[in-house]
Copies of this chain bind each other. A is one copy, B any other.
Amino acid sequence: MKRIKITIAYDGSRYNGWQIQRSTDNTIQGKISAVLERMCGHVVEVNGSGRTDAGVHARQQVASFDIDSKHQPADIHAYLCQYLPEDIAVLDVEEAEAAFHARYSCRSKTYMYRIHTSRVPNVFERRYLYTYTDKALDISKMREAARLLCGTHDYKAFCGNPKMKKSTVRTITDIKIEVSGPEIDISYTGDGFLQNMVRILTGTLIEVGNGSLQASAMTRILDSKDRQMAGFTAPPQGLTLMRVEY
């Protein structure tokens, strides 16, 4: 057996997220596992760097699995290309060290959330944007709030899973907000993110931008560890996993 590392891009629009579920076979992990099972004749357990929610995209997701040594990376790549649907692309397949694990070895991840602020739609990118036109967003206030949200904190208030038992402490090293015409792109880099965390951070930053929340409230929200204190959960289609680093 040998360990394989693959890099994947996907348009998450029509999937129920990354993670295999008993109730549906319509997941990215499920599609990849099914093709590998077809190739090998037995179940192959595919470990992603982390889950992405239903409707969330990836420009660079990483997964690892073990496979019989007779399979060469180029053959695995060609096989996956042939049988995966056109909204899942395998960008790279390589042999990894035995100790490599897509989730446990991950050092940092970067997500981008794209907000479209014009009533004139971006017709070609519309599936990868969240359109918000209710109020003008104050970028400098959003940047001020973003600074307060960076660092090592207990992000329980920004966790979508109320039953989360494990540690909700994470480190966000950077939140960058860039404006390009009618689009606001928020990039989050950190050592890991809780369920819905990037979407809740984004909803909270939007509420700061539109004046519903003060930037200075971020510290209080973090301290409260109360999901009710943070902003809304921004919808999934604006979110893309951009990069996973090892």
A interface with B by C-beta (< 8 Å) = 9-11, 57, 59, 78, 81-82, 86-91, 119-124, 126, 128
* Minimal Cβ-Cβ distance residue in B for A91: B120
18 A-B pairs (CB sep. < 8 Å):
A9-B123, A10-B123, A11-B124, A11-B126, A57-B124, A59-B124, A82-B119, A86-B123, A86-B126, A87-B121, A87-B123, A87-B126, A88-B123, A89-B120, A89-B122, A89-B123, A90-B120, A124-B128
Provide the bound-state CA to CA distance between A89 and B9, in Å: 28
Chain B residue with Cβ nearest A12: B123
Closest B residue to A240 using CB positions: B124
Residues of B within 8 A of A57 (CB): 124
**Dominant SS at the A interface?**
mixed
Task: Give the complex CA separation of A11 and B125 in angstroms.
Answer: 10
Measured between beta carbons, the chain B residues less than 8 angstroms from A126 are: 11, 86-87
Q: Specify which chain B residues have a CB less than 8 angstroms from the CB of A86 in the assembled complex.
A: 121, 123, 126
Contacting residues, chain B, for A82 (C-beta < 8 A): 119
The residue on B at minimum CB distance from A90 is: B120
Q: For residue A119, which residue of chain B has the nearest CB?
A: B81
**Nearest Cβ distance between residue A240 and chain B, in whole angstroms?**
9
Docked CA distance A11–B89 (Å): 22
Extra inter-chain contacts (8) besides given A86-B123, A91-B120, CB under 8 Å: A82-B119, A86-B121, A86-B126, A89-B120, A89-B122, A89-B123, A90-B120, A124-B128
